[in-house]
Structure 1
């Protein structure tokens, strides 16, 4: 069911939002030039008041009216948080419908199961699945779009009355009315089968729940620290009830699929209610005890009874530092527990960020796809510093900073699309994220590759932070401002020597063998070929960073190592495969079957994995024509593949290593090929329904891909290059820091991507279907012409 949205007051855009305050969005008229009803666009009137012409927002010159209307404001009405909350098998999106502000720590939301409490872990990485029928609580912290279950800390649940069975797993679990479920940016609501209405909103560090109980019943709110998400172990919890202050403080430590690698992640909380406690109690491993104020252990919880009456608002301040900082965050962000004020501020924050992009189109569905994708791309990483600048570092010590500090970087995924999107459109957030990674390296001693909460997880292969830094620095970020020298020193260390035994960071796989042989040998263990390919890409990024820092010897060394991908290219098999220490290539009997020497994927999908050296890969494949023919066959086979619950065998949009492949046509000068196949992916692997993501969103990676593809402008991460495709909007205006980038495509129909494609920049035809970041950073007009 689609979210039900209320109309927003005209002044809501002026409301305070969150920390850090978003950059001022460019004021512009994002309203509709006409009206849209039932998917049919009414005739429009040009913005200059005449029929059939409009003024260009960039140049002010008159031009023929482009098809469609601008997405009408408020833009949050086009966001559907239920997209990506469903799916099955490898098509699970792992999103959730609960509220948060951009990159906020507080993510209160429903944790759901099927009837009887069954919840397959892989389908509940964010705690929720759209097909579920019961709610087992509202936890305050989670991740978005991951393929591993973690967090789920600090669960609260409204219930009617208190009994011993409600201390057990599922004891308070209840069915809910699916038709009552609503979700929009900053707001979630549902009615439970026992008649309780639950509403959720959030500030940056506070989760707010408003519970309305049926008249004449016994209102109780449970704080359960004994249970969590499926396959997540509770390590410990603490409750301290202060009835006079109307507050409960403590911590909740869980050990999930990734946090279990460093002993679990501990979240501190301070819970307050908008009405006095009529009674309270707590439990430890079972029986509830009325009036018991303190408990500590792995199976503890508390409960609060209220007198019947008006709704109860529960605010939960959160912190990684301690309970006092959680209370400080609550004092600063929701001192009066004003639910409506918090909701209005959250909606204003989202409207301001979405307004950095304006699009004109003919399909309300396309508006929904794009703005939901941007919404998803602004959910993670996670704010991890408190209102006073305190944060707990990867060394488990408390530090302070004058800038927001973030964690939960799914770097192997997000370096490809999410961080380039932030670099382009949200540079102030990206700068703080780079500073956060630098601080992580300084605090913990190593640049992480998948930090979660306060620890190293060593998730996935490669050291993708190198590409994140290179992508931003090459696109104009100040090296000193983001601490590049310090970050580079940390990244160089693990690129040139093994980490010592007992290090919390695993370092590069078999880095000594990689340096000696030019590849990671298959004898080193699983994912050896993937490690070679990622290391070559990472070395390419390090070479670029070394040049910026004036380290020419390093730049030369890493530039040479960037070609290491060639050492696993088998010219006979025509694949990037594993290689033994003797130099022999490992034969691949079936290129459609997953191999242990790839991280995730098969030989056909990994054949394209040298994004930093597509010219070299083209040469290895026999030249431009041979590569284009092979690429065309790759997608032609993909078009015929029947999607199942199993991994896809040809092009796999739901997995990262080949998601640049649709735009490789443009890298080879074939704009029409990229126009056709990027559009095919967008139309056939995405949708406006709960199963509408092609797999785990991976912290916004798949959503970032959709946004770029919808504009027809795709980044090759770690470089300055954007490759061109086929916009689905006749006009897109991206409000960049240096000026408005306007992308115009007079013909956008799906039937217009099988013919020719041409492009011009500022009125001059482009010789090749690509642009540099420096070309577009100060704004201008890109025109893409497609023909059936």
Structure 2
């Protein structure tokens, strides 16, 4: 498609709620071609890489070069041997893996079907993947709808064509067992695989599939869960459609009939391109270098994937929140379609500085669906989840990390749900027996989170005096998290006129002071007797702190930085300390090495600021809250240049890109918009820093906001600091603009 061609997204082939809902905007370039899919893929994990997938697609079809474990698996750039093409790359889940091949006899077909490939002939963009299997001399093309994978193979001859369905054994984070495959008629295939429980996902989850070939099936052979489907000797090309469902084969078939009733592969590639262009085109950037623009859209692409749809086109979804599995049903609208999609998701830990801010401004319909999905989990199982997987509560990470995300959505007017139900569910999470009481992956008890100590003593002791119940039982960090999350819930209580609850949770929100050591001026772990940790080292990693050290975690008080500064001796003293930390962190590139895997390295773990993990992603903006916006401007620019720039398979996020968290942070800091608290206040504000581009145009969703578009212009990009900020020709005295004003639309001019 030519860059000048106008692209209008037309949702054909699929029902109204069968994919992520979109705002229709007119765009005049292919943003898809700006995406560099290989960014950081040398370090990727199972759910990181995506190619032949739609935004938040249930199907995440792509090659697998490594299949052992959640970490270091999936598509790894430096491993050029493909072991299969899996349809599910999700948080703690995998799915059917297939491999086209030239049959060489049963022994080889089942044991050595993998094939080398080269990046020289590989072609990848959002929604499409092309690769050549050197061993079999087969050209493979992949695309998809939301719930259906679409394959096109070109074989070297008409003979010995086959597709191997690999349905047993380790596949990324999950071991697949109890596989089934049945040939129905001449061309249809049905089956399922079961993901066994993992440490993080405590219950099994089945993935059902319905596949169609465009050629007759000659025979099928089975050996230990590997099913070799042989095709008739007619033509060199073959296509396959494979739909999945987490509820039944019948629903997988319905997903296919709704989303992909035809065999036009190129049409689906183009349809996927159009959808991605619509999503990426919500933000248009102009100026700076081509490399910076490509990196921006690559970051934005990452912010719109990873967290996956688990409901079918008819609204059926897997519910594993109670003792026995059941199939749930999303409520239907007047047209008989599901009101929202249900989602699989990693934790919202750190989302208050990342996807919460980006989605709620630019993609409010996505934020809306996620809030409704999280409330559905509450109605089913009695808790708002931290990170659900296949209908399971996983209790990933710590605290009630969904609270700031959901409260921020409500305060910004994203409200397609019952606010009383929202408050009820979140309040329950913050009380004994709720999700805040559980530590990481604590499935059977509610003691590892130390919540009752937090309520009764004002802090979570470290170590936990009751023993070990899960992961991340790091009391100092837990205290900080709970305090901020309590503040967020207090804001919702105030907006709903729940005055007693507002007072109660505001009182809890200052509990962070109980783990501030006035002698060392660090946040410091404290035991149940009230004694400070004796051998405390503020640079010791995970010693009372969750995926952080004391120097990083000390600044995790986004709701009361002025109060924190007073404890440190005043704003100037706080600024001096933080400035020293940034100067030291700069020597190490602001991250603990170049990947999450080396974060515990003896040298890297002692970094005082780490932009490679969530706990200190807000620290450059702390200066702004301490009356030094100039230092925020300075350090944001340096972090962007050091951490979130460049296009390379070896680096990209220099840490753990947890399903859009780092991608969205990179987008926000490059746009020059940031929120310290996810906007949980009734009148939330954005901290404005200088964008790296000359001009940005944000398409606003008029189903949620009154404005049509928001333009941000930089008058002189060569000057590094902001001297004046105007919005719709009105000069602002500081460097903050309210959300309620921005979404009216207009122009921000940065001088």
TM-score (norm 2): 0.89
- Spell out, residue by residue over 1:84-134, the C-alpha distance to the aligned partner (whole angstroms, 9 max, x if none): 31238xxx7962142211111111110004xxx9x685222xx11111110
Which residue in 2 is equivalent to 1:123? 72
Is the 8 Å Cα contact of residues 280 and 297 (structure 2) preserved in structure 1? yes
Residues in 1 aligned to 2:128 and 2:3: alpha-carbon distance in whole angstroms: 13
Which of 437, 447, 455 is matched with 1:515 structurally? Answer: 455
Q: CA deviation at 1:377?
A: 0.8
Report the secondary structure of 1:781's partner residue. Answer: strand
Report the secondary structure of 1:262's partner residue. Answer: coil
Residues in 2 aligned to 1:392 and 1:254: alpha-carbon distance in whole angstroms: 13
Which of 94, 108, 111 is matched with 1:152 structurally? Answer: 94
Which residue in 2 is equivalent to 1:280? 220
1:264 aligns with 2:264: no
1:746 aligns with 2:715: yes
Is the 8 Å Cα contact of residues 385 and 406 (structure 1) preserved in structure 2? yes
CA shift in 2, pair 1:163/1:327, >3 Å: same
CA shift in 2, pair 1:86/1:104, >3 Å: same
The 5-angstrom pairing of residues 476-515 of structure 1 reads 476-478=413-415, 481-498=416-433, 506=446, 509-515=449-455
Greater shift, 407-416 or 329-338, is seen at 407-416
1:180 aligns with 2:147: no
Residues in 2 aligned to 1:665 and 1:310: alpha-carbon distance in whole angstroms: 63
Residues in 1 aligned to 2:693 and 2:506: alpha-carbon distance in whole angstroms: 39
What's the RMSD between the two structures over aligned residues? 2.4
Which residue in 2 is equivalent to 1:320? 246
CA shift in 2, pair 1:723/1:316, >3 Å: same
Residues in 2 aligned to 1:25 and 1:361: alpha-carbon distance in whole angstroms: 25
Residues in 2 aligned to 1:94 and 1:683: alpha-carbon distance in whole angstroms: 26
Residues in 2 aligned to 1:302 and 1:456: alpha-carbon distance in whole angstroms: 36
1:708 aligns with 2:708: no
CA shift in 2, pair 1:216/1:650, >3 Å: same
Which residue in 1 is equivalent to 2:32? 76
Residues in 1 aligned to 2:107 and 2:627: alpha-carbon distance in whole angstroms: 67
The 5-angstrom pairing of residues 54-73 of structure 1 reads 73=29
Residues in 2 aligned to 1:302 and 1:506: alpha-carbon distance in whole angstroms: 47
Residues in 2 aligned to 1:199 and 1:771: alpha-carbon distance in whole angstroms: 47
Q: CA deviation at 1:775?
A: 2.2
Residues in 2 aligned to 1:361 and 1:122: alpha-carbon distance in whole angstroms: 37
Q: CA deviation at 1:692?
A: 1.6
Which of 693, 699, 713 is matched with 1:735 structurally? Answer: 699
Which of 624, 628, 631 is matched with 1:670 structurally? Answer: 628
The 5-angstrom pairing of residues 204-603 of structure 1 reads 204-215=146-157, 217-230=159-172, 232-242=174-184, 244-255=185-196, 257=198, 261-283=201-223, 285=224, 299-395=225-321, 396-401=325-330, 402-403=338-339, 404-478=341-415, 481-498=416-433, 506=446, 509-524=449-464, 526-587=473-534, 589-603=536-550
Q: CA deviation at 1:482?
A: 2.1
- Spell out, residue by residue over 1:605-641, the C-alpha distance to the aligned partner (whole angstroms, 9 max, x if none): 1111111212212222221211211221111111112
Is the 8 Å Cα contact of residues 520 and 532 (structure 1) preserved in structure 2? yes
Q: CA deviation at 1:718?
A: 4.3
Q: CA deviation at 1:656?
A: 0.2
Task: Tell me how many residue pairs correspond in the alignment.
Answer: 701
Residues in 2 aligned to 1:655 and 1:93: alpha-carbon distance in whole angstroms: 18
Residues in 2 aligned to 1:13 and 1:26: alpha-carbon distance in whole angstroms: 7
Which residue in 1 is equivalent to 2:617? 659
Task: Give the structure, 1 or 2, with the largest relative contact order (CA under 8 Å, sep 6 or more).
Answer: 1
Which of 37, 40, 62 is matched with 1:109 structurally? Answer: 62
Residues in 2 aligned to 1:251 and 1:207: alpha-carbon distance in whole angstroms: 15
- Extract unaligned runs of 5+ from structure 2: 331-337
Which residue in 2 is equivalent to 1:192? 133
Residues in 2 aligned to 1:652 and 1:160: alpha-carbon distance in whole angstroms: 49
Which residue in 1 is equivalent to 2:565? 618
Q: CA deviation at 1:449?
A: 0.8
- Spell out, residue by residue over 1:136-193, the C-alpha distance to the aligned partner (whole angstroms, 9 max, x if none): 00000013xx7xxx3231000001105333565x521110122111111111110111
Which residue in 2 is equivalent to 1:70? none
Residues in 2 aligned to 1:547 and 1:77: alpha-carbon distance in whole angstroms: 46
Which residue in 1 is equivalent to 2:22? 23
CA shift in 2, pair 1:459/1:676, >3 Å: same
Greater shift, 409-418 or 378-387, is seen at 409-418
Report the secondary structure of 1:353's partner residue. Answer: helix
Which residue in 2 is equivalent to 1:291? none
Which residue in 2 is equivalent to 1:774? 740
- Spell out, residue by residue over 1:571-617, the C-alpha distance to the aligned partner (whole angstroms, 9 max, x if none): 11211121112212214543222133111011111111111212212
Residues in 1 aligned to 2:739 and 2:424: alpha-carbon distance in whole angstroms: 26
Which residue in 2 is equivalent to 1:68? none
- Spell out, residue by residue over 1:435-494, the C-alpha distance to the aligned partner (whole angstroms, 9 max, x if none): 00000010112111111122111110111111111111111223xx22332232222123
Is the 8 Å Cα contact of residues 255 and 312 (structure 2) preserved in structure 1? yes
Q: CA deviation at 1:709?
A: 0.7
Which residue in 1 is equivalent to 2:82? 135
- Spell out, residue by residue over 1:384-418, the C-alpha distance to the aligned partner (whole angstroms, 9 max, x if none): 11111111223332122222222224211434311
CA shift in 2, pair 1:12/1:636, >3 Å: same
CA shift in 2, pair 1:264/1:413, >3 Å: farther
CA shift in 2, pair 1:434/1:504, >3 Å: farther
Q: CA deviation at 1:280?
A: 2.1
- Spell out, residue by residue over 1:727-755, the C-alpha distance to the aligned partner (whole angstroms, 9 max, x if none): 01111111123322211112224xx43x5
Residues in 2 aligned to 1:494 and 1:378: alpha-carbon distance in whole angstroms: 27
Q: CA deviation at 1:765?
A: 3.1
Report the secondary structure of 2:298's partner residue. Answer: helix
Is the 8 Å Cα contact of residues 20 and 366 (structure 2) preserved in structure 1? no
Is the 8 Å Cα contact of residues 93 and 696 (structure 1) preserved in structure 2? no
1:85 aligns with 2:36: no
1:695 aligns with 2:661: no
Is the 8 Å Cα contact of residues 197 and 203 (structure 2) preserved in structure 1? no
Q: CA deviation at 1:376?
A: 1.1
- Extract unaligned runs of 5+ from structure 1: 1-5, 32-72, 286-298
Residues in 2 aligned to 1:262 and 1:121: alpha-carbon distance in whole angstroms: 15
Is the 8 Å Cα contact of residues 243 and 252 (structure 2) preserved in structure 1? yes
CA shift in 2, pair 1:204/1:611, >3 Å: same
Is the 8 Å Cα contact of residues 75 and 371 (structure 1) preserved in structure 2? yes
Report the secondary structure of 2:427's partner residue. Answer: helix
- Spell out, residue by residue over 1:321-378, the C-alpha distance to the aligned partner (whole angstroms, 9 max, x if none): 1111011101111122321121111111111112211111131112111111111111
Is the 8 Å Cα contact of residues 690 and 722 (structure 2) preserved in structure 1? no
Report the secondary structure of 2:520's partner residue. Answer: coil
